[in-house]
Structure 1
């Protein structure tokens, strides 16, 4: 197939590009910077400069490429991670998940693209009711009125638009792997990444290579609907955070009460570590035939930080 990867130089995008090419597909991959065209050429893709927030730019790129499948991997998280001000940190990504999604879907429809696959998110943002592990049938938590509210609203917009168009939504867990969690490891080594409150809130993780492999399967099988792309072991912060510190050669994280963490790090950090809900990957494994290289973050953290 001819596959158009919007955001081909991103954390997941470039891995998707490489795997698609290795499996014999033709790949058209986009970047916002002409300086990155050579990177895509070295991978073997047809490189295109495209502004995902410009409808004309998107329309021209897709019309010229005439792909069979379009993959939406556009994000923009520049600078250091800033959970306290998540609304600011995710501002451009939120636009790419709303305006950018509209532009890609319109271009796909105009060009007669038969299938659409888009990146979404599922790590700690399951609805904070009932059990700690959620399936695709459970609603997400939208966190209105918090610093995460805008990001969750953008996810809801993207998912509704893509599902209405008959596409597939891949909810990636918290990403780790080469370059994916450098900020967190640095904070742990400086003892500036504490365990908040009870630490009972759950997170689901996924290695970047496993996320890419699931994406390729969704492209090739032209599946529709929502899939949680996470590993086998959703876990509370009180388990994964000390393990991550040990894997990184750092001292055990300090523990701080929720009220203090809210003052220092904001409401989202408290929500994640006290109320977060993880996710089940049963549907992705069953319907995609997805096999994980790292079934648990325990294996992956050790491998990546050895």
Structure 2
């Protein structure tokens, strides 16, 4: 198929584009920077500069590519575009990404409608942000936590927008877990090695992880099968912070994380980090495995962390 990957030079796009090309698809991939055109071409894609927040730029790029499916992977959370990871001020850190998930999604959907693109696949997020009620592991039937009154509220609203408009348009929304793998480890491992990432309170909050290569393979299946609806793209083992964080530290050759009470962590790290580490809800991948026939190379973060940090 002719596949248009918006955000092809991003951390997931760099794993996705080669997988699509290897399976015989004709890929057009976009970037915001001319400096990355060569990277996309080396991966086998036709490379295009596109501004996802400019409706004209999006419309022209899609019309020229004439794709049979659009894959929306646009974010703006790289250090260059958003600064260092900052969960305490998540509204500022994710401001650009939130616009890409609202305005950018709308521009891509409008371009798809204008040019008759029959299928659409969009990136969303499902790691620790399941609704905080009931059990610790959520399915696609469960909503995302709106994080009302926290700096994550705008981001959760943006994710809700993606799910609403893409599903309504007959597309697929992929709730990826917390990425790890090539290009996605430094922001996580760096603070762990410096003992700046403690277990907060009980550390009972759950999180779901996904290796970038597994996220990419699930995306390829969603493209090829013209999947519709919401899918949790996570590994087989959602786990509490008091399990995955010490294990990650051990794999990274770091000292065991400190443990601090929630009242102390809140002014230092913010409400969102405390909620994630103490009350977060993970996600089940049963639907994606059953409906897409998805098989994971890294079924557990235990295997993946160990191999990535060996």
Across the two proteins, how many residue pairs are aligned to each other?
Answer: 306
Show CA shifts across 1:212-244 (max 9, x none). 000000000001000000000000000000000
1:77 and 1:93 in contact (8 A); partners too: yes
Tell me the equivalent position of 1:51.
51
Distance 1:301 1:44 in 2: 29
Show CA shifts across 1:28-61 (max 9, x none). 0000011111111111111110000000000000
SS of equivalent to 2:219 = helix
Could you tell me how far 1:78 is from its partner in structure 2?
3.0
SS of equivalent to 1:63 = helix
Tell me the equivalent position of 1:25.
25
1:218 to 2:229 alignment: no
Tell me the equivalent position of 2:279.
275
1:70 and 1:116 in contact (8 A); partners too: yes
SS of equivalent to 2:103 = helix
Distance 1:111 1:13 in 2: 23
RMSD, matched Cα: 0.6
Distance 2:20 2:29 in 1: 11
Could you tell me how far 1:110 is from its partner in structure 2?
0.4
Distance 1:257 1:74 in 2: 36
SS of equivalent to 1:226 = strand
Distance 1:184 1:213 in 2: 23
Tell me the equivalent position of 2:254.
250
Distance 1:3 1:30 in 2: 11
1:239 to 2:243 alignment: yes
1:78 and 1:89 in contact (8 A); partners too: no
Could you tell me how far 1:181 is from its partner in structure 2?
2.1
Distance 1:215 1:143 in 2: 27
Q: 2:138 aligns with which of 127, 134, 141?
A: 134
Tell me the equivalent position of 1:169.
173
Tell me the equivalent position of 1:38.
38
Could you tell me how far 1:280 is from its partner in structure 2?
0.3
When normalised by structure 2's length, the TM-score is 0.98
Distance 2:15 2:146 in 1: 29
When normalised by structure 1's length, the TM-score is 0.99
Unmatched tracts of structure 2, length 5 or more: none
Tell me the equivalent position of 2:183.
179
Tell me the equivalent position of 1:124.
128
1:157 to 2:125 alignment: no
Show CA shifts across 1:116-170 (max 9, x none). 0000000001111111001001111010110111110100011101011010000
Distance 1:141 1:172 in 2: 15
Structure 1 segment 255-270 matched on structure 2, within 5 A? 255-270=259-274
SS of equivalent to 1:75 = coil
Show CA shifts across 1:73-126 (max 9, x none). 000113221111111110000000000000000000001001000000000011
Tell me the equivalent position of 1:93.
97
Show CA shifts across 1:179-217 (max 9, x none). 212122111111111100010000000000000000000
Distance 2:242 2:263 in 1: 17
SS of equivalent to 2:104 = helix
User: Which aligned runs of 4 or more in structure 1 are off by greater than 3 angstroms?
Assistant: none
Distance 2:305 2:243 in 1: 13
